[in-house]
Amino acid sequence: MCHAQRLAASRRLGWIGSGPAALAAASMLFAPAGATGSAAVQATPRQSAAERAVVAVALQEVPTYARDVAPIVQEKCMECHMENSIAPFPLTTYDEVRRRARAIRSRVEERVMPPWHINRTVGIQQFKNDRGLTDDQIETIVRWVDGGAPFGDETDLPEPREFPDYSRFQLAKVFGEPDLVVKSEPYTLPAVTQDKWFRPVVETGLTEERWVRAIEVKPSFPDGRRIVHHVLTTLIQEEQGLTGLASTAHDVQQSAGLFMEWAVGKVGEIFPEDAGKLMLPGARIGWEVHMHAVGEEIVDDQAELGIWFYPRGYVPRSRTVLRMFDARGASDIDIPPGEVAVTQDFHVLQAPARLENFQPHMHMRGKAMSLEAVYPDGRQEVLSVVDNFQWNWHNNYVYADGYQPLLPAGTTLVITAWHDNTADNPNNPDPEQWVGWGDRTVDEMAHLWVDVTYLEQAEFERLVAEREARTVSESGPSGTR
């Protein structure tokens, strides 16, 4: 027990006041003569029953690494903070965590780490891939650090966790190995150079029509994960109209378009069982691989695209397309030195639609982005907000099944972006520079990647009715959950 906790515990019983003398008295009260470390918080025969009760309460209140913190670190942190992973240091042992305890406290309390930057108080909160910390988990880590970061009882440690092999596709644990793997052409990145955008077009070798269930982009490991900032893959194929697209959405999408976008922090995309993407014979993949130098030459690096198909003959009800909803507005991105800028754009849905995810894309001055729906009847609803955007973590927030926004035709999507070009932004490379739109990370962007499943009106009404029935069932007779 630290001095402050001894003092607080004794104050709760009204035994002592405040100040240095009280702190000394509390220390003497709870620690046997000459005791240090864990011995200083043990109940002893010389203490009264009340004194021992206070010790027990205080011990219970201070989280330990073994019992309380290790399970959180193992679940939420270790996958990145381990050898040969993307984090700059490991957090796999007590000593490694304790050594950085103060920094960890700061990062989790500010909700910078783990990289899950959705606003927890606004909009949809149900996601398939939520890796953020709950309020209780944050409080546990804060109290553990403030309590002196004790180890606790070794028998409380969780069983070791098995971690993914980043040289393999991560979705393989769900679907098995991919049905089709398409590699980009090799590229050698010099040790020192400006950012590069590599744009080869590669044949897939596909000879039959297949519907896609899931997709994953995988940079090479470990080199590719060090140099690749983002990857765009475009599906290039001969198609008269878009098979499977809702009949009223054909003016929205004229080609197969973007297949998948990948950025640091994202793994892949899994489509709901009633939706997917269609690949045709002779399809090709257009790559855009954005790389940045790391002070070491990386030779013949390749990214890979893993594709999992539905069974032959299965045709999902709806076709999903990846849309890039701009947030630059009529004025485009024009950020003066030392200022915070706000841009906004509007997109009207021509057909009923289900939005599968929310993935803001900005660069180093990116601050926040929101997605709002304005319904045809004038109602407004905030769907999702990222209010602590971190440019090196382009998280894809995938809505859980049954919670994806279901939006009628005529709904206006309002996307708002905030950029911070002031010295208060720790990610800002130069607050004295004017910033405009551009591909480089020192330039800026403002758009939202969303997988949109356009729906026929009858299908939309069916899904809305199912959701309303589920809501009533969960609410119960009283109307409260």
Closest CA to 115 of 388, 385, 370, 358: 388
Which pTM does this prediction carry?
0.75
Please tell me the distance from the alpha carbon of residue 266 to that of residue 50, in angstroms, as a whole number: 53
Please tell me the distance from the alpha carbon of residue 227 to that of residue 290, in angstroms, as a whole number: 8
* Contact by Cβ (8 Å): 64, 151: yes
What type of residue is 146? D
In 364-441, which ranges are E strands? 366-374, 380-386, 397-398, 406-407, 412-420, 435-436
pLDDT per residue of the chain (481 residues) written in tens, 0 to 9:
444 444 343 333 333 333 333 333 333 334 433 333 333 444 444 556 655 555 555 556 899 999 999 999 999 998 778 876 667 889 999 999 999 999 999 999 999 899 899 999 999 999 988 889 999 999 999 999 999 999 999 999 999 988 777 788 989 989 999 999 999 999 999 999 988 989 999 999 999 999 999 999 999 988 888 888 789 899 999 887 667 778 888 777 667 778 988 876 678 889 888 889 999 999 999 999 989 888 999 999 999 999 999 999 899 988 888 889 999 988 789 999 999 999 999 999 999 999 999 999 999 999 999 999 999 999 999 999 999 998 878 788 989 989 999 999 999 999 999 999 999 999 999 999 999 999 888 899 999 999 899 999 999 999 999 999 887 777 665 443 3
Please tell me the distance from the alpha carbon of residue 4 to that of residue 9, in angstroms, as a whole number: 9
Closest CA to 223 of 169, 295, 171: 295
In terms of residues, how long is the chain?
Answer: 481
* Contact by Cβ (8 Å): 467, 406: yes
Lookup: tokens for 403: 């919670």
- Alpha helices, H only, 77-134: 94-99, 101-109
Which domains, from first to last, does the chain contain?
A: 3-61 (no CATH), 65-156 (no CATH), 164-316 (2.60.120.230), 319-481 (2.60.120.230)
Lookup: tokens for 235: 């599906």
Please tell me the distance from the alpha carbon of residue 99 to that of residue 149, in angstroms, as a whole number: 10
